[in-house]
Chain A
Amino acid sequence: DQQVKQNSPSLSVQEGRISILNCDYTNSMFDYFLWYKKYPAEGPTFLISISSIKDKNEDGRFTVFLNKSAKHLSLHIVPSQPGDSAVYFCAASAKETSGSRLTFGEGTQLTVNP
């Protein structure tokens, strides 16, 4: 049962343009959503999060949008830079479990071309 899904295994964009990464979930008990970035041979690093009571959170070039009714969230990166090329994971945590128990999607490989 895949509770968090990232349906696009890969995305390629030009430097300076917008990157939009999508994520869908099924579990209504999720109360926080997080995005992690992962470079090869490194562990995931936290990027940005959003509470289920909000619909938008912004941090510099990164904005996460949450549509609770559609159980969908997206990460926007503007402008995209070559250094953003990495695998991006969407993750969620539920109220009844600790914040250290995350459910991850399969990841999307973002490639930003110079």
Chain B
Amino acid sequence: DAGVTQSPTHLIKTRGQQVTLRCSPKSGHDTVSWYQQALGQGPQFIFQYYEEEERQRGNFPDRFSGHQFPNYSSELNVNALLLGDSALYLCASSRILITSGSPLHFGNGTRLTVT
């Protein structure tokens, strides 16, 4: 039973470029959430996707966008990259009917470095 898988594991981009990160949820899960973890900080919620729509969004600018496909996998896109976007990007999956307090399953993340 594969867990949450993310690709690539590492990525180096230049300021102003665009990047796409990918996530496949755990088998049986239909909801994907994305988090950004800056160095020395805890993960911060970016947004959640369910039924191919963005359902909730954290305090991130419109440069951050996403997509969910019919097979529940998801992409995170970041446009016009800034140095401050350098972080570990974590994908988490769950079932939409997850009750508060039920654990999320996280992937190992994509380490993005913007130079």
Contacts and interface: CB of A to CB of B under 8 A. Distances in A.
A99 B102 contact: yes
Contact of A98 (B56, B58, B105): B56
Interface stretch (A11-19, A38-46, A68-76): A38-46
Contacts, number: 79
A44 B90 contact: yes
Contacts of A111: none
A94 B45 CA distance: 13
A100 B98 contact: yes
Which range holds the interface residue count of chain B?
20 to 34
A89 interface: yes
Nearest to A43: B106
Given A43-B109, A103-B45, A49 B55 contact: no
B44 to A, nearest CB: 7
A77 interface: no
A98 B55 contact: yes
Interface string B59-95: 0000000000000000000000000000000101010
A100 B33 contact: yes
B28 interface: no
Contacts of B44: 104
Contacts of A31: 100-101
Interface string B40-54: 111111001000000
Contacts of A43: 4, 90, 92, 106-109
B107 A99 contact: no
B9 to A, nearest CB: 8
